[in-house]
């Protein structure tokens, strides 16, 4: 066969463009699919990276805040942060991804004086399985990771206080409350029994012994309540650097006080030694509380202010805690002159910026009215109708005073 026959055929084939599009499409299709898959995957990765960053930011901030607030301890911070990240990412992760154990956590604690800060760095990461289009061109996973750092903390500033208690120890404070003594729930007692006639025909009785429920007396309740208050102050000021306390007791007369001193040791002993007895006259004791808090030193300056300034450089907040279970009595007007004197002292104390807390403990209307008058405001007045109310009142006073002693600044 002659070559002249093939030449025209070859020329026609080389000049025919009809199959080029199909050929080029076949060649380019994998590339186009890969590019499309990459575009979709990049969008997914950007969204996943944003979700991961938000989880890291939230976990770092939450952990630093929890450390500063005392919600978690340093030893618990790593687990707290990892659980937080896992919770934030729970709805976004692919099945089988263990982000909790793949999250790094670093906590640095810095203490300066009474200021503590916590720097928390949270670094989560995981492998994201790519879409099938990406897998078609050879990719299987893409590693995503991020990091976030947050600092949280607080500084403690101490506030100085001076507190003086004026406490009723009158005879009615020996009366029982309705609260059973948990340490000694029963007590023995004697009573007349077995009446019979003696040789002279007179009715006489034998003496019998029995047991009965033992209730706290009012003064026992007072000692427990005051002890709780002193414990709160000790917790806020364990080194007795910022708190000064004193106390005076009274019935119809005023007794020698426990003078203002650092801490609560002296005042605790004083209160624990109280014994009930006598009538009621609050005027002298309240005046002693006021004058003790405002006495002048040899230089003519406020003695309490000077004592605190010397030790802490601060001017103290001053408190009177005034408690009674009855009406003033035993004067020519049934105790009303004592009320007048007590009110005058309360007015003067409040005008000097002294806060007065009052507790009417199972007191009649007259005693309640006096203490309501003397309180700095309604929130400073407590009407305790049972022992539990008395304990709660002293606890509330202790909490407010302790908050003045230890003030947290975030």
Give tens-digit pLDDT for 170-194: 999 999 999 999 899 999 999 999 9
Domain count, the chain: 2
SS3 383: strand
* Residue in the block written with tokens 């990459």: 38
Average pLDDT over residues 8-18: 56
**Predicted confidence (pLDDT) at residue 408 exceeds the cutoff of 50:** yes
Q: Does the pLDDT value for residue 2 go beyond 60? A: no
The tens digit of pLDDT for each residue in 201-242 reads 999 999 999 999 999 999 999 999 999 999 999 999 999 999
Q: What percent of the chain has pLDDT over 90?
A: 67
Residue 48: name the closest of 89, 87, 86 by CA.
89
Nearest-5° Cα angle at 6, 2 to 11:
150
Same domain (yes/no): 222, 120:
no
Task: Give per-residue pLDDT as tens, 55-73.
Answer: 999 999 899 888 887 888 9
**Average pLDDT of the residues in 148-156:** 75
pTM surpassing 0.85?
Answer: no
Residue 359's nearest CA partner among 331, 317, 318, 387 is 387
At 270, the pLDDT band (50, 70, 90 cuts) reads very high
| CB within 8 Å of 291: residues ≥ 6 apart | none
d(CA 369, CA 318): 23
User: Residue 34 belongs to what domain range?
Assistant: 22-154
DSSP secondary structure letter of residue 302: B
Query: Is residue 136 included in any domain, yes or no?
Result: yes
Give the pLDDT score at 99.
93
3-class state of residue 43 by DSSP: helix
| Residues 131 and 167 grouped into a single domain | no
Residue 409's pLDDT band (boundaries 50, 70, 90)?
A: low
269 and 299 fall within a common domain: yes
Position 244 pLDDT exceeds 80: yes
Q: 178 in helix, strand or coil?
A: strand
Q: What is the pLDDT of residue 405?
A: 87
Asked if residue 182 belongs to a domain, the reply is: no
Instruction: Tell me, yes or no, whether 205 lies in a domain.
Output: no
User: Are both 220 and 81 inside the same structural domain?
Assistant: no
User: 27: pLDDT confidence band, cut at 50, 70 and 90?
Assistant: low
Same-domain check for residues 171 and 319: yes
The more confident residue out of 265 and 130 is: 265
348 in the same domain as 318: yes
Query: Is 3's pLDDT higher than 80?
Result: no
Residue at which a domain ends, from 101, 122, 154: 154
Summary mean pLDDT of the chain: 88
Q: What is the dihedral of CA 192, 196, 198, 199, to 10 degrees?
A: -170
* Cα–Cα distance measured from residue 185 to residue 24, given in angstroms and rounded to the nearest whole number: 101
pLDDT band at residue 339 using 50, 70 and 90 as cut-offs:
very high
Residue scoring higher pLDDT (313 or 32): 313
Whether 284 and 368 share a structural domain: yes
Instruction: Report the CATH number that the domain containing residue 321 is assigned in CATH.
Output: 3.40.50.410
pLDDT band with cut points at 50, 70 and 90 for residue 407: low
- Burial, 259: exposed, middle or buried (Cβ in 10 Å; 0-12, 13-18, 19+)? middle
Query: What's residue 28's pLDDT?
Result: 60
Q: Supply the pLDDT for residue 211.
A: 94
Least confident of 66-70, 355-359, 375-379: 66-70
Is the confidence at residue 77, as pLDDT, over 70?
A: yes
* Residue 47 or 370, more confident: 370
Q: What b-and-e string marks burial along 212-224, b requiring 16 or more CB atoms within 10 Å of the CB?
A: eebbbbbbbbbbe
105 and 170 belong to one structural domain: no
Residues 240 and 132 in one domain: no
> Percent of the chain having pLDDT more than 70?
84
Any idea how long the chain is?
410
The answer as to whether 281 is a domain residue is yes
Please tell me the predicted confidence (pLDDT) of residue 238: 92
Task: Give burial (CB, 10 Å; 0-12/13-18/19+) of 59.
Answer: buried
Whether the per-residue pLDDT at 334 is higher than 60: the answer is yes
Give yes or no for residue 297 having a pLDDT over 70. yes
| Confidence at residue 1, expressed as pLDDT on a 0 to 100 scale | 47
Q: Are residues 224 and 344 in the same domain?
A: yes
| Same domain for 165 and 148 | no
């Amino acid at each position: 066969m002659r070559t002249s026959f093939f030449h025209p055929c070859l020329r026609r084939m080389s000049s025919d463009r009809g199959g080029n599009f199909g050929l080029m499409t076949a060649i380019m299709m994998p590339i186009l699919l890969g590019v499309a898959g990459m575009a979709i995957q990049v969008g997914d990765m950007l969204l996943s990276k944003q979700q991961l960053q938000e989880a890291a930011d939230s976990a770092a901030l939450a952990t630093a805040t929890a450390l500063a607030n005392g919600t978690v301890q340093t030893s618990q911070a790593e687990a707290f942060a990892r659980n937080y990240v896992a919770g934030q990412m729970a709805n976004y992760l692919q099945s089988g991804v263990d982000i909790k154990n793949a999250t790094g956590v670093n906590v640095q604690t810095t203490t300066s004086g009474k200021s503590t800060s916590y720097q928390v760095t949270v670094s989560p990461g995981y492998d994201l399985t790519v879409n099938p289009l990406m897998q078609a061109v050879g990719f299987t996973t893409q590693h995503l990771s991020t990091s976030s750092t947050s600092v949280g903390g607080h500084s403690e500033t101490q506030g100085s206080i001076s507190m003086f208690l004026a406490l009723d120890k009158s005879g009615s404070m020996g009366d029982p409350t309705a609260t059973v003594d948990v340490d000694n729930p029963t007590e023995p007692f004697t009573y007349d029994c077995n009446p019979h006639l003696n040789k002279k025909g007179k009715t006489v009785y034998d003496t019998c012994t029995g047991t009965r429920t033992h209730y706290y007396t009012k003064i026992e309740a007072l000692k427990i309540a005051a002890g709780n208050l002193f414990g709160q102050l000790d917790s806020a000021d364990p080194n007795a650097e910022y708190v000064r306390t004193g106390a005076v007791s009274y019935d119809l007369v005023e007794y020698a006080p426990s003078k203002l001193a650092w801490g609560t040791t002296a005042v605790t002993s004083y209160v624990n030694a109280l014994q009930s007895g006598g009538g009621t006259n609050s005027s002298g004791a309240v005046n002693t509380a006021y004058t003790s808090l405002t006495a002048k030193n040899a230089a003519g300056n406020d003695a309490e202010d000077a004592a605190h300034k010397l030790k802490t450089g601060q001017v103290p907040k001053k408190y009177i805690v005034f408690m009674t279970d009855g009406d003033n009595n035993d004067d020519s007007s049934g105790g009303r002159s004592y009320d007048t004197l007590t009110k005058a002292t309360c007015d003067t104390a409040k005008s000097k910026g002294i806060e007065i807390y009052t507790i009417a403990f199972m007191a009649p209307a007259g005693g309640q009215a006096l203490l309501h008058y003397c309180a700095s405001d309604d929130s400073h007045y407590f009407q305790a109708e049972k022992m539990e109310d008395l304990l709660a009142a002293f606890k509330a006073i202790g909490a407010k005073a302790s908050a003045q002693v230890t003030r947290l600044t975030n």
